[in-house]
Structure formats: C-alpha cells, structure tokens
Amino acid sequence: MSAIDAVTRELLDKTEFLALVTEGSEGPHVVGNWGEYLRRLGIDGDRLVLPAGYYRKTEENLSRNGRVQVLVASKSVQGGHGPGQGCILRGTAEIQTEGEFSDRAKASFPWARGALVISVDSVEMQL
Ligand SMILES: Cc1cc2nc3c(=O)[nH]c(=O)nc-3n(C[C@H](O)[C@H](O)[C@H](O)COP(=O)(O)O)c2cc1C
C-alpha cells in the first residue's frame, strides 16, 4: 500500500513550499523547496522528485544518514478541526546527479545539478 494517501496527495498538490530536515553532525539542518517545483517534476509512486541546485550540506548529511523528515501544509486543505492541514512525511533521500530523475530536473531547471529524490515510507497528519 502506498504511504501517500488521498489527503497527503492533496497537500502535495497545494502546499506552497516544503521544509526538509536532515541530521547534521551539529544537529538538525533545514532546507526548503517549492511545491510548484515538486508538481513540475512529479510524484513517482512514493518518491518525491525536486530540483537540486545547491543542497551541499544536505548532501553531506545524507551521505552519513539518509533519513529525512519533510513538512508540507495548506490552509485550503480540510483538517480535523477546520480549514488547514499539514503533514510530516518520513523516509530516506538522496541527491542523484545522473539518471532519469536527474535528467528530468535538469531539463526543467537549467540551473539544477541533479534531483533530490525522497522515498516516503510514512506520513503523520498534524491537524
Ligand atoms: C521556498 C524555498 C525554495 C527553495 N528551493 C530550492 C531548490 O529548488 N533547489 C535548491 O537547491 N535549493 C532551494 N532552496 C534553498 C535551500 O533551502 C538551501 O538553502 C540551499 O539549497 C543550500 O542547501 P545546503 O544548506 O544543504 O547546502 C530553497 C529555499 C526555500 C526557502
């Protein structure tokens, strides 16, 4: 069964940005990406594909520990208490500088050096 259910899919369709946390040697490291960029590159099963322009520290962190947490949210998705929902997606990630996803990222974003590919294995709703 897919980790990305209908509500998660709606959040990924509507979130303005994503916040991604990796574990660094000195603690958590947070970076961003745009929801629009995710929607341009597409969601491939349980994998999220994003353009990587920089992400040098993120890449270093991922080489030691591939686990990530990603926060997305939208006020226009219904939550349990009213308008507004968000979720934490947990999984593993890597930066791919060659292959299908990297080619896709470079074709859409000429500044990209590759793709940040996140494999989601669980989702936790927040509201
Ligand atoms: C809303 C938002 C969107 C961003 N989009 C990208 C992006 O598409 N690609 C990218 O490499 N960095 C993006 N960044 C910058 C990253 O957060 C980060 O600062 C940069 O990539 C350096 O990463 P590093 O600290 O892992 O080296 C974005 C930041 C924000 C706040």
Domain count, the chain: 1
- Asked if the structure places residue 1 within a domain, the reply is no
- What type of residue sits at position 76? S
State the Cα–Cα distance between residues 70 and 22, nearest whole angstrom: 9
Domain of 115, CATH number, reads: 2.30.110.10
- Asked if the structure places residue 67 within a domain, the reply is yes
**What are the tokens at 25?**
């040697």
- Asked if the structure places residue 68 within a domain, the reply is yes
- Asked if the structure places residue 50 within a domain, the reply is yes
Report CA(1)–ligand 1 centroid distance (Å).
Answer: 31
Report CA(80)–ligand 1 centroid distance (Å).
Answer: 31
Q: Is the minimum distance from the CB of 58 to ligand 1 under 6 angstroms?
A: yes
- Asked if the structure places residue 120 within a domain, the reply is yes
Q: What is the 3-state secondary structure (H, E, C) of the chain?
A: CCCCCHHHHHHHHHCCEEEEEEEECCEEEEEEEEHHHHHHHCEECCEEEEEECCCHHHHHHHHHCCEEEEEEEEEEEEECCEEEEEEEEEEEEEEECCCHHHHHHHHHCCCCCEEEEEEEEEEEECC
Q: What range does the domain containing 59 cover?
A: 6-125
pLDDT tens column, 9-57: 999 999 999 999 999 999 999 999 999 999 999 898 999 999 999 999 9
pLDDT tens column, 44-100: 899 999 999 999 999 999 999 999 999 999 999 999 999 999 999 999 999 999 999
- Asked if the structure places residue 77 within a domain, the reply is yes
